[in-house]
Amino acid sequence: MIIVTGGAGFIGSNLIHELNRAGRTDILVVDNLAPAPNLSGPKFLNLHGAEFSDYMDKREFREVLKSGAIDVKVDAILHQGACSNTLEDDGRYMMDNNFTYSKELLHFALDHGTPFVYASTAAVYGASTSFTPEPANERPLNVYGYSKLVFDNYVRRLMPEIKSTVVGLRYFNVYGQREQHKGRMASVLHHFTKQLKETGVIRMFEGSGGYADGEQRRDFVYVGDLARINMFFAGLLPGQKKAPDVHAVVNAGTGEARTFKAVAEALMSVHGPGKIEYISFPGDLKNRYQHFTEADVTGLRAAGYTDPFTTLEQGAKLTFPEARE
């Protein structure tokens, strides 16, 4: 059995669909489907067409973990479950979801020798302009990034004792299918597409952080690539016999920053022409916004993942295939 936490969410659901394509359906999906004010729609729709053997609410799952009642062989744990709302300020809630929950899963995996691949985030770097996973570069701007960094550091401290695969993946700016429920936290590709279709105009922030209008740069990574990276480290790609023996926290991004203008151009090549307008920078983001991100993928490559990444232009077409029909 494979356990996928956050399995109804954006990255988790794409991971389940990718596992299905690889022939795996013996999946326990763990998630929380309760309504949430930050969501713009139901997550369960992301699992339409997916095949899995069981579903468990996150709270029930944590109780089962604590009781030791999981009595089946677990081939891998792909831990995508977290509170990913970067504007959430409830530190107690964030630390329970992103730190304590992750520790519970990690120790289950270590006790059973189960490969454990988990979602971290580029938010740990905050306003840093260097994105090598080293403490000097890790300065989160919000409690979301802080909660992820605390768990990364917990894993790092255990590294000398770890004997099975444990890999933390610091996701950069992820985009792709199945993110319509994420509301304000959806990718810029999702928001730009909605604007373009409804008004013919893409609105983006005016210059900030030393960058000109629309020239802020991010490392945009296609969700399908992240699914494959998770599967690689868990030993679940077709043809893999086992997980690689890796204990690391690495960046999961393309290694190439692209401008917001480039995103708009890629989308207009898919959906049709439109205009670009620049809007004032929101006050609630001023001290918690990353104007530039670009993954240093040296660690990812050194850990054995060598596949090329989907380009922004390719990813835009894959995200919106209906636009080409």
Annotated catalytic residue, options 118, 144, 146, 289: 144
User: Cα separation of 145 and 125, whole Å?
Assistant: 8
Is 123 strand, coil or helix? helix
Structure-token pair, residue 149: 């960094």
Question: Is there a contact between 185 and 306 (Cβ–Cβ < 8 Å)?
Answer: no
Clarify whether 154 is annotated catalytic: no
Structure-token pair, residue 1: 């059995």
Clarify whether 182 is annotated catalytic: yes
Report which secondary-structure segment, H or E, holds 190. Answer: helix 188-199
Which amino acid would we find at residue 308? P
User: Cα separation of 325 and 322, whole Å?
Assistant: 5
User: Cα separation of 99 and 153, whole Å?
Assistant: 11
Annotated catalytic residue, options 101, 118, 146, 182: 182
Q: How many angstroms from the chain centroid is the CA of residue 269?
A: 26
Active site residues: 144, 182
